[in-house]
């Protein structure tokens, strides 16, 4: 199942990337996604940024079929591996989300593209996969709203920071 989101920010891609690479931003994102606890790590190298968050999440909002696999809480490990900017000012990320103890994963890409001299287009394309025969599709469909909500929270937080 796919989840796609697009957003525009009144900042250059470099400034958006600077915000994404702030530990305070990542911590606020985790808090807003209702994590019970979390930690974040950010590695900045030349033309490469790796952002990792680990969150312990409550299962209350999950459909019953999903709760049966993970118990009362579950852990999410998210990794964003960014490269850029290229000669056009484009930043590209490989996105991976692993849900510990659940047969589900999320992978995809994200692009920060200059829209004009002072704004950025953010495109996020994710694929949710569940590795369970017969009911895998139902689990993917059940997970899609939570994945989309997490992406929406991050893009809304970025938009607020851009104001």
Enter the pTM of the model.
Answer: 0.90
Report the C-alpha gap between 49 and 82 in whole angstroms. 5
Rounded to an integer, the average pLDDT of 60-82 is 79
Report the C-alpha gap between 52 and 70 in whole angstroms. 21
Q: Which two tokens stand for residue 14?
A: 């470099």
Q: Which residue has the tokens 């659940």?
A: 102
Domain made up of 2-162: CATH architecture: 2-Layer Sandwich (3.30)
- Is the pLDDT reported for residue 24 higher than 90? yes
Residue 142 CB-density burial (10 A; 0-12 exposed, 13-18 middle, 19+ buried):
buried
pLDDT tier at 65, thresholds 50, 70, 90: low
What is the percent of the chain where pLDDT is above 90?
71
Instruction: Considering only CA atoms, give the Rg of the chain.
Output: 16
The rounded mean pLDDT for the chain is: 92
Q: Which two tokens stand for residue 105?
A: 């994963």
- Is the pLDDT reported for residue 129 higher than 70? yes
Which of residues 38 and 162 earns the better pLDDT score? 38
Q: Domain extents for the chain? A: 2-162
Structure confidence by residue, pLDDT tens digits, 81-127: 999 999 999 999 999 999 887 788 999 999 999 999 899 999 999 99
Element (H, E) at 141: helix 136-162
């Amino acid at each position: 199942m796919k989840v796609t989101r697009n957003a525009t920010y009144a900042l250059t891609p470099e400034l958006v990337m600077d915000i994404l690479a702030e530990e305070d931003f990542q911590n606020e994102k985790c808090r807003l996604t209702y994590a019970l606890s979390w930690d974040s790590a950010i590695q900045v190298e030349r033309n490469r940024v790796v952002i990792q968050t680990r969150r312990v999440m409550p299962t209350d909002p999950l459909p019953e079929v999903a709760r049966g696999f993970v118990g009362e809480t579950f852990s999410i490990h998210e990794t964003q591996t960014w490269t850029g900017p290229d000669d056009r000012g484009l930043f590209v990320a490989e996105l991976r989300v692993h849900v510990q103890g659940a047969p589900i994963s999320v992978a995809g890409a994200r692009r920060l593209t200059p829209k004009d001299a002072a704004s950025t287009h953010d495109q996020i394309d994710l694929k949710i996969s569940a590795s369970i025969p017969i009911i895998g599709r139902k689990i993917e469909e059940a997970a899609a709203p939570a994945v989309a909500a997490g992406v929406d929270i991050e893009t809304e937080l970025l938009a607020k920071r851009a104001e």
